[in-house]
Amino acid sequence: MSPPNNALTRIAAVQMVSGSDLQTNLQTAEHWVREAHRQGASLVLLPEYFCLMGKKDTDKCAIAEPEGTGPQSPIQARMAALAGALGIWLAAGTIPLQSSTPPRIRNSLLVYNPKGESVACYDKLHLFSFQNGQEQYDESRTIAAGSRPVACDTVAGRTGLSVCYDIRFPELYRSMASEQPLDLILVPAAFTATTGQAHWEVLLRTRAIENQCWLLASAQGGLHDNGRRTWGQSMVIDPWGRVVSQVKEGEGVAIADLNPAQTAEVRLNLPALTHRRLGA
């Protein structure tokens, strides 16, 4: 479902500062999705943990849903209905889904088409762990790792799905592009201020440059009511690695037009994807 030659696709990354109240977060997410749609976006990405940044790591486990849009899955049902009502592609990243190893949950990015149908579900593969004395994180305590890469066709073309810490693993994106180059990479995230300040932008720009594709990164960006501070800097990056739209801190929308002709020009002028030798 690649976009027609030279047809522009407006894409948007929502930045939030989610808190510990589920309904407030969902209302905020819907507000910004509607704002992106008002500005002409046909594909909108929400950040990791958009629905809940709990007081405790285990809080997200308490709201985990079975995959689907039935009565037991109100978050998914609401996102599907929103995509259908606006007639947009909505990448809702991330929603806590029930796993086969409870009480751990899946940290899942779901993609809905303009009819409100779920067309892809990616469970975060790489689980973040970090400690520097003052900060300690270990996602494996509450999250079950995914088992496979996922790419899907959207209005923006071939779209690779990833979540936050995944951005540190370039082989993930190579595997998604093994049969067809990616047109767009999605990265919903909740990078800590510490790691974000050091690595966020350089990692995102590198993934866009080496895959010669657009990248849409939607982040949490500010001080949350659980005391955690996230880095923000949601952005749209073009295939040459240039940041073309950005929200630095707080809530907002980074929005830009994905231009397939620009992707083609970069790949023609610097055909790095055809020069690969190892793992080709």
Task: Please give the single-letter amino acid code of residue 243.
Answer: V
Does 60 participate in catalysis according to the annotation? Answer: no
Which residue of the set 51, 61, 65, 124 is catalytic?
A: 124
Q: Are the C-beta atoms of 20 and 52 separated by less than 8 Å? A: yes
164 part of the active site: yes
Of 51, 18, 29, 24, the closest CA to residue 221 belongs to 18
Question: Are 37 and 88 contacting, i.e. CB atoms less than 8 angstroms apart?
Answer: yes
- Contact between residue 222 and residue 232 where contact means Cβ atoms under 8 Å apart: yes
Q: Where are the beta strands (DSSP E) in 18-112?
A: 43-45, 89-98, 105-112
- Distance between CA 154 and CA 274 in Å, rounded? 24
CA gap 91, 11 in Å, rounded: 11
Task: State whether the Cα torsion 99-104-110-115 is positive or negative.
Answer: positive
Residue 111, helix vs strand vs coil: strand
Structure tokens at 108: 């899942």
Q: Which of 121, 152, 164, 213 is catalytic?
A: 164
**Mind telling me the catalytic residues?**
48, 124, 164
